[in-house]
Structure 1
Amino acid sequence: MDALLLMLVVFIGYIIAYNVYGKYVGYKIFELATGKPVPSKVYEDGIDFVPTKKEIIFGHHYTSIAGTGPIVGPAIAVIWGWLPAILWVFFGSILMGAVHDFGALIISMRNKGKSISEFAGKYISKRTKYLFFAIVFLELWIVIAIFGLVIAIIFNMFPQSVFPVWMEIPIAMTLGYLVYKKGKSVGILSIIALILMYITIIIGVYMPFKLGSVAGIPATGVWTIILLIYAFIASVLPVTMLLQPRDYINSHELLVAIALLIFGIVASAFTGKLSIVAPTYQAHPPQAPPLWPFLFITIACGAISGFHSLVSSGTSSKQVADEPDALFVGFGSMLMEGVLATLVIIAVVAGIGMGYFHNGKLLTGHAAWLTHYSSWTAAKGLGSKLSAFINGSANMIESLGIPVSWAIAIMGVFVASFAGTTLDTATRIQRYVVSEIFSDMGLTVFKNRYVATLFAVLSAAFLAFATGASGKGALTLWPLFGAVNQTLAGLALIVITIYLRYKGGLKWIVAGIPAVFMIAVTLWASILNEINFIHKGNYLLIVVNTVILIIVLTIIFEGVKTFFSIKEGTPEPIDEEAKA
């Protein structure tokens, strides 16, 4: 019953937080107002700028920010105990993540749908804009290169997910065609699409597909090539053709997965099969880094993640149809991600104790958990983190009478679908970033979406295959990603703080305190990483991390200087374009 009680307390807390703190931030701090001009309507082009119902854009936004993040982070962070993990997810998502995501979204909407890098230059300085672009490009570069590999690993672990994941594309495109071209009702059609999706999942259980090597290229490399080609195509198509309908299906798939997990937890708890078997707090797990500051780097999505600011100011700000919708999309999505992270935590600290096979032997209770989490090294791999969540979830879902094989397939497709969304959303955002920065430099050819997307994909392919045909090249920079991602969150909060500083009063505090906290813990983690890289003699990571630290410290200096230069009544800066 302890797992069930934990779930109920957290969920009730999120409902209260959205209706009290969320609406306070939205209407009192950011002064949302209906009827204001928004980029989706002012610049409507049918490709990127498309006014969209808030329920549909919520589906896109949520599935884009989630990916595998709220799964893999909590699934390893529980090694420090379930209590630190759940506290960071709950309070982090409300006080930091939701403010961060919503703030980036609404500021972008009030700045022509531009990226956070662009309006960082407006509110801080032009030099900051280019430094911000460097951090953003690096983050997206790694994300695009690594997510092809991530999906390849998921396909290898769960071959039953391959067929349904690829079949979702024609299902989604048919849905988009019927809704946007034929004017059919999205409600009924989305339910039909979801039913078709689950039929393909059942087919996938009986038709698993495992790809072998092709022309000497390992399966991971082949999948990475296929997925990068897909990302190019998906990212140049109009959002109404694939992105919106697929993500709308994914959002329904999320609701089904969450419902199965919730009912599975209830059923397992009332039958006495479910209880928390992980330690409440474990200060020094074997081989693990210190909880402070690494808990706050390890759990990103689910609490706060810099990548979210790129989605908010990249794709979502170009589709929200009315300012008040931004609260549901930005603030609401972050809390829903906290809901998912909470369910992940329960799956890996309680669900795994219902049954865990190790060396052909079935283990239960604390022994099951301890075997999987015997050390940081044993539990930190992507496969280990995903298997802990999926197997724990399948155990709980089985309590509803659903066969384990079906439950594993449902959760495997759920994870792979979200990873695919993150891949092509990141590619589309990188296209915006490349187009903005090179256009500023006078290279107008990059305003062409095909040219900019090709650059994004080819640069990611270069990184992916830098170390060979396996497509694992991005792993060389992966040790930097956690700190870079969370540093970006801190920097985004600085921009939001300065934006609110221009609005007068003490409104800036809602973003300012989270900004100070995130900058402190991420710089701390980056410095510890630098020491570790030096001890290991990893010169590539030493150099790249040093450059990142210099860039970040410069942005912080510029931000602090700007903050204290703003006096009461100082007018908001004017766009460079407006000046011209």
Structure 2
Amino acid sequence: MITFLISLVVLIVGFALYSKLIEKVFRVDDRQTPAVAHPDGVDYTPMKTWRLFLIQLLNIAGLGPIFGALAGACWGPRVYLWIVFGTILGGGVHDYLSGMLSERHDGASISEIVGKYLGKFMLQVMRIFSVILLILVGVNFSKNPAQLLAILTPETLDANFWLVVVLIYYFIATFLPIDKVIGKLYPIFGACLIIMAVGIAGVMLVDGNYRAQMPELWQYIGVEGMGHPTNTPIWAQMFVSVACGAISGFHATQSPMVARCMTSEKEGRTIFYGAMVTEGIIALIWAAAGVTFYGSVGSLNEALAGGQSVVVNEICQSMMGPVGGVLALLGVIACPITSGDTAFRSARLTLSDWFHIDQGNWKNRLLLSVPVLGVGALLTQWGDFATLWKYFSWSNQTLAMMVLWAGAVYLHRNGFPPIACMMAALPATFMSAVSITYFIQAPECLNMSTSIAYPVGIVVAVVFFGIFIVREWMGHKDDVTKLAA
């Protein structure tokens, strides 16, 4: 319990201090935001801060901080360290920069921003990469909820029926103005996600039996406690397994959607950094719940073999009774749906930025919404989709790496102080090591030994950092002079 409470406090204090620091070095001002400068009633629609916060939270979260945290908990409470420091130093910075850079570039999609600062080649890579990633997310979050709904309803309403219903909803949410569907539903489901996590945390801390079972970090320091139940190495597997709840590139594809609705730059700290820290707290609670409820990482790993949805339902119902069952149902069905609809909407926005198609006109929105959802619908019928999905976690963290590097370049080229540049460049270097190491060692990728993956990952990350220093500080003398002054 002590480790959990300390981690929780560090997350809260980290938000209070580090988010203010990055806001200060980013130099927020009173410039007009895109929503104020040219509202279009569709994507550029001014909304209140609290509503945007809950929309952003559900955009970036879904079931990520639950499923990912439970998977990470198989390494024991050591996952707390990644959740806490990954959120404060990595995820919060990543989400804040992706949101604020979009706001300062007229609500541009993340692919356009990365391309602007990392070059034309990366622009094309990011455009293709982002659209494919977003459609894959939408497809995955179509099939799973449909299958769960089929289990809970009469046999005549099978998975195909519910899949059609979900896809129709996705089309509506993708096509209609953001405040008509997403702006109304998301705050409700975002509140449910928070209530579910608070309820689980409350039971663990109040119930004496659960308090006694909560593991401490120092219990996992030593030879016996260091291994995953399946001998999966903690580096870099855990850092990819727990993406949402620490740092996730998918967030960067969602932040521009909210950046187009802000009315003041001062909202960025609460909306982007605040939503990320809230997600980190949710992930921390679920990681603790996993190892506490099942008593050991081995038992948790066995339970997860039966399906993560089953684990969530069992924990919720056992800890919170019928109310927990309802919240679990909302979680495993509503949360993925609310990630899928914004994934398709973000794909539309990315394509509109790519081909410069005005989305204020309903015909233009239809021109993009129909093919995006059409491709998604076709992919739901592809039986081997699960194979492609194995690459999502790696591509997700690779995207986070690229966004952080783009943020570091932006900060330097616009005369921000060195401390601001390093706040992006250092986590970018770390995520470079994570991404490269995982790709080399993961079974679905190169499947090479850790003796090769570890040094290569570290060396490549150091090389990336060196390129940044040489290209930016040594390659732009005017900027160096400006910084020195």
Distance 1:154 1:91, change over 3 A: farther
Matched, 1:22 2:8: no
The CA distance in 2 between the partners of 1:431 and 1:556, in whole Å, is: 33
1:445–1:451 Cα contact (<8 Å) kept: no
Letter in 2 for 1:234: A
Match of 1:8 among 5, 9, 21: 5
Secondary structure at the counterpart of residue 526 of structure 1: helix
2:412–2:479 Cα contact (<8 Å) kept: no
Matched with 1:388 is 311
Deviation at 1:17, TM superposition (A): 1.1
The CA distance in 2 between the partners of 1:277 and 1:20, in whole Å, is: 28
The CA distance in 2 between the partners of 1:99 and 1:211, in whole Å, is: 47
Matched with 1:40 is 35
The CA distance in 2 between the partners of 1:459 and 1:222, in whole Å, is: 18
Deviation at 1:535, TM superposition (A): 7.3
Secondary structure at the counterpart of residue 477 of structure 2: coil
Q: What TM-score does the superposition give when structure 2 sets the normalisation length? A: 0.87
Deviation at 1:53, TM superposition (A): 1.0
Matched with 1:258 is 197
CA RMSD of aligned residues (A): 2.9
Deviation at 1:6, TM superposition (A): 3.5
Per-residue CA distance 1:19-61 (angstroms, 9 max, x = gap): 211101012x21112x311011112011111111110100100
Distance 1:323 1:451, change over 3 A: same
Gaps of 5+ in 1: 160-208, 214-218, 354-364, 398-403, 468-472, 537-551, 573-580
The CA distance in 2 between the partners of 1:251 and 1:463, in whole Å, is: 28
Match of 2:472 among 551, 563, 570: 563
Matched, 1:528 2:441: yes
Matched with 2:177 is 238
Deviation at 1:264, TM superposition (A): 1.6
Secondary structure at the counterpart of residue 113 of structure 1: coil
Secondary structure at the counterpart of residue 329 of structure 1: helix
Matched, 1:291 2:207: no
Q: How does 1:198-237 map to 2 (within 5 A)?
A: 209-212=153-156, 219-237=158-176
Matched with 1:487 is 398
Q: How does 1:178-577 map to 2 (within 5 A)?
A: 209-212=153-156, 219-269=158-208, 274-276=212-214, 280=220, 282-313=225-256, 315-350=257-292, 352-353=293-294, 365-366=295-296, 370-374=298-302, 379=304, 384-397=307-320, 404-439=321-356, 448-467=364-383, 473-504=384-415, 505-506=417-418, 507-529=420-442, 532=444, 563-564=472-473, 565-569=475-479
Deviation at 1:293, TM superposition (A): 0.8
The CA distance in 2 between the partners of 1:221 and 1:233, in whole Å, is: 19
The CA distance in 2 between the partners of 1:495 and 1:109, in whole Å, is: 15
Gaps of 5+ in 2: 449-460
Distance 1:253 1:503, change over 3 A: same
The CA distance in 2 between the partners of 1:429 and 1:558, in whole Å, is: 31
Secondary structure at the counterpart of residue 285 of structure 1: coil
Deviation at 1:559, TM superposition (A): 6.7
2:96–2:272 Cα contact (<8 Å) kept: yes
Match of 1:145 among 131, 139, 142: 139
Give the structure with higher Rg (CA).
1
Matched with 1:97 is 91
The CA distance in 1 between the partners of 2:155 and 2:269, in whole Å, is: 43
The CA distance in 2 between the partners of 1:137 and 1:312, in whole Å, is: 15
2:194–2:282 Cα contact (<8 Å) kept: no
1:439–1:446 Cα contact (<8 Å) kept: no
Q: What TM-score does the superposition give when structure 1 sets the normalisation length? A: 0.73
Distance 1:257 1:286, change over 3 A: closer
Distance 1:41 1:225, change over 3 A: same
Secondary structure at the counterpart of residue 569 of structure 1: helix
Matched with 1:50 is 45
Deviation at 1:152, TM superposition (A): 2.4
Deviation at 1:79, TM superposition (A): 1.5
Distance 1:259 1:371, change over 3 A: closer
The CA distance in 1 between the partners of 2:404 and 2:82, in whole Å, is: 17
1:64–1:418 Cα contact (<8 Å) kept: no
Match of 2:124 among 127, 130, 152: 130
Distance 1:532 1:413, change over 3 A: closer
Distance 1:73 1:272, change over 3 A: closer
